[in-house]
Amino acid sequence: MPGGEAEADHNADDDEHDDNANDNYDNANNNHDNANHDDDNDNANDNHDNANNAARQRRDHAERLRRQKMTERTLAGRYELGERLGSGGMSTVLLATDRRLERQVAIKLLAEHLADDEQFVTRFRREALSAARLVHPNIVQVYDFGLDEESGRQYIVMEYVEGNSGAEILAAEGTLDVPEAVGILSQACRGLDYAHRSGVIHRDVKPGNLLRSRDGVVKLADFGIAKALSEESSITQVGSVLGTAAYLSPEQASGHGSNPRSDIYALGVVCYQFLSGRLPYEAQSITELALKQQREAPPLLTDLNPEVSAELAAAVDRALELEPEARYETAEEMRVALSDGARGVAPETAATSISTPRTAATTVSQARDDQPATTVQRRQPRQPQQRAAPVAAVAEQRRKRGWIAPTIVLLLALAVGAAALIYITGSGGANSVRLRQVVYEQVDETASQLQQLIRQNTK
């Protein structure tokens, strides 16, 4: 029996061991399931956190954009910015509303990538200081300028001219009629003359900077690279070329300094373009422009536009002279010449025609110092075409000359009679001397009248 009991006890122990093993297996499965569940919870939590972070980033980005937009829409707490009117390499011009004075203005903002460049900031502020001194009906008025602390942008507040620029007019019409072109240029000459008398050179005269309002008033705009005559600055030193290349004078294209007559040359280019629909010189670089200016003469305006008279063409030609001294001395002088030329009035002196070159050749310096200077043959001068005299004028001149001969014969007869009288009274006394003196005076007067008559009727 003891053996049976031992076997029974052994079987019982085996059963208990199996139960414990099963329990351990179940516990292990439960632990594994719990571990998997915890991993799932962690992944879910991570995904949730990532989603929250992405949403938060989107909200932050939207908030930054909103704040930036609010900052850009309002400048200096006063000017509400609107649509863009234009842009350039240095700045952008926007339409804005002055909340304080309740009027529309144009605001020029310095380009952001130039805001940290002290040289460009100096040039930008120089524009404001130069232009703010100019108060004239034909110059865009500057109202305010400064630095917006919130955005860090330099700005200039200017008069807003509602209308079109000369560039827009050219794009729409191609070629302007003579009265329209001369009307625009005459007003521009008045504004430019005032600026020069105030000691300011524009240095960037071009069609885009001539603004014509709805009521026809033309204003000279954007003294963006203007230079005060009485000041010296490294940003406008000799050798640095500024301005739109096509409108640069020969001295500017060659790297020399500018002067008021450089503006007059640029205005002559604008006038040429208005009347012909093309530039006097087409060039791809400053060096090519300088060479063409020295070598070639622009096509005659009378050949490009039959409506342009020889007198008007000569007036424009003088503004395009190579030598500054040969151009108009003032913009006002140019205005008078253009107005006279449009009416067919010829220049009063020979100075208004193309002058004779002083030298046979001109040296043009290249842009790089390590390149030798290029000597080019200077262009030949062009004389303005002479207009044929009207038929009526020729007939009148012939009619006047028809009675010249009889008049000369009569005056000669009087002179001969006077000489005979002198001979007869040659042997008399004091009375004869006085008589001879009177006759001499009459003969001299008759001779003077004869010479004057001949001059007047042989022109």
Catalytic machinery residues: 204
With tokens 């009087």, the residue in question is: 414
What DSSP element (H or E) covers 70? helix 2-73
Phi-psi region of 122 (alpha: psi -120 to 50; beta: other; left: phi over 0): alpha
Enter the tokens of residue 310: 């020889």
Residues 6 or more apart whose Cβ sits within 8 Å of residue 305:
175, 275, 276
Span between the terminal Cα atoms of the chain, in Å: 172
Write b or e for each residue in 124-159: b if 16 or more Cβ atoms lie within 10 A of its Cβ, otherwise e. bbbbbebbbebebebbbbbbbbeebeebebbbbbbb
Report the C-alpha gap between 161 and 426 in whole angstroms: 86
Chain-centroid distance, C-alpha 206: 3
With tokens 């010189």, the residue in question is: 281
Enter the tokens of residue 451: 């010479």
**Angle formed by the axes of helices 260-276 and 178-197, to 10°?**
170
Entry field: residues in the chain: 459
Judge whether 269 and 246 are in contact, CB under 8 Å. Answer: yes
Residue among 348, 184, 355 at smallest CA distance from 267: 184
Q: What is the CA radius of gyration of the chain?
A: 45
Residue among 269, 162, 267 at smallest CA distance from 212: 162
Identify the three-state secondary structure at position 80. Answer: strand
Helix residue spans in 219-356 (DSSP H)? 250-253, 260-276, 286-295, 301-304, 310-319, 331-342
**Residue 33: C-alpha distances to residues 21, 41, 47, 155 (Å):** 18, 12, 21, 68
Residue among 99, 113, 119, 112 at smallest CA distance from 148: 112
